[in-house]
Structure 1
Amino acid sequence: MKPVRTLVVLIDDEKMKLLENHGVGKGLQPLEEAEFSRKEAEALEYSDQPGRSFESVGAMRHAMSPEKSVEEQQRDRWLREAMAHLSKRWQKGNFDRLVIAAPPKVLGLVRELLDRPLKEALYAEVAKDLVNVPERELPERFADVAAF
């Protein structure tokens, strides 16, 4: 019987690790890491002033409160780039299922950014930040959702 190949994604606000599993008892092998670059983000231009809008009647103008802070905008951009990279990696690999671990807030954003093939392959989600957990400890952290 062919072993089930699982792509495991550990992601947070600044880092993403991709690992793979080739069946029960085989553990997790690292594939690659990607890290958010603050220098690149600082080079992007974000407005430091709130936008302005006109009154619906008359010529008065009002400042608008920003919907997202600069940090949130940078995080959202990082996650969009990370999910685009993940999608390409998924297409290249012969994986059968996907497991994602991320802090709860990031997991919600990642869920929204997954494309259709990744959503269909999603086997389990773990709402914990496991990016900095040593690789030898990871299989026990996933014991509730998958056997590695």
Structure 2
Amino acid sequence: MSSTWVLVADSTRARLFEVAPANKALSELACYTNPDGRAPGRKAATDRLPRVNESVGSVRHAIEPHTSLREKSTDHFAHTLGETLERGRLEHSYDRLVLVAPDRFLGALRGNFSKDLSDCVVGEIRLNLTALPLHELHSRLPGDLLARGLAES
């Protein structure tokens, strides 16, 4: 039997649901957290910026990293979620995938998807709904989106 998974995520938390074919009810499969996602750009342990020597003389300059630790943490979290979804796809745990995430994190997720995984995506909602209780989350998901995923069963 084919199945639909719904990933509700942001840079700090992700919840994975499965849609029951009979009544379109959501059941939570897993919850993931990224505690570093709320950290400021630099952590206290790495507050001092890296240094570089001047090519002439003994002057040293601080350099800003191109990517903040928070961005790296977010990318790593998106990569981990992408691996989890890919593993589920390869194990035939689901056929269709619905993504619910804010624009910025949705882009990070999409950047970690293979073509085959991207082909499983039947819909996207560009909102942060990770903190909603299950009954409210279900009411915020468009019924036609869930029905579209199940209609192909």
Assess same fold via TM > 0.5: yes
Cross-structure match for 1:49: 49
SS at match of 1:33: strand
User: What is the match of residue 136 of structure 1?
Assistant: 135
Post-superposition offset of 1:62: 6.5
Moved over 6 A (4+): none
TM-score (norm 2): 0.74
Is 1:91 the counterpart of 2:97? The answer is no
Counterpart pick for 2:31 among 11, 30, 33? 33
Question: C-alpha root-mean-square deviation of aligned residues, in Å?
Answer: 2.9
Shift in CA distance, 67/102, structure 1 to aligned 2, threshold 3 Å: same
Alpha-carbon distance, 1:47 to partner: 8.6
Relative to structure 1, the CA distance from residue 90 to residue 49 in structure 2 (aligned partners, 3 Å threshold; closer, same or farther) is: same
* Compared CA separation, residues 93 and 133, structure 1 to 2 (3 A): farther
Unaligned runs of 5+ in 1: none
Structure 2: 5+ residue stretches without partners? none
Figure out how many residues of one structure are paired with residues of the other and give that number: 139
Give the structure-1-normalised TM-score: 0.76
Percent of pairs identical after alignment? 26
Any idea what SS the aligned residue of 1:125 has?
A: strand
Q: CA deviation at 1:51?
A: 6.1
The amino acid that maps onto 1:21 is: V
Q: What are the Cα deviations for residues 88-141 of structure 1, in whole angstroms up to 9, with x where unaligned?
A: 122224312100101111011111111222101011111111111111122322
Moved more, 99-108 or 137-146: 137-146
Kept in 2: contact 1:53–1:63 (CA 8 A): no
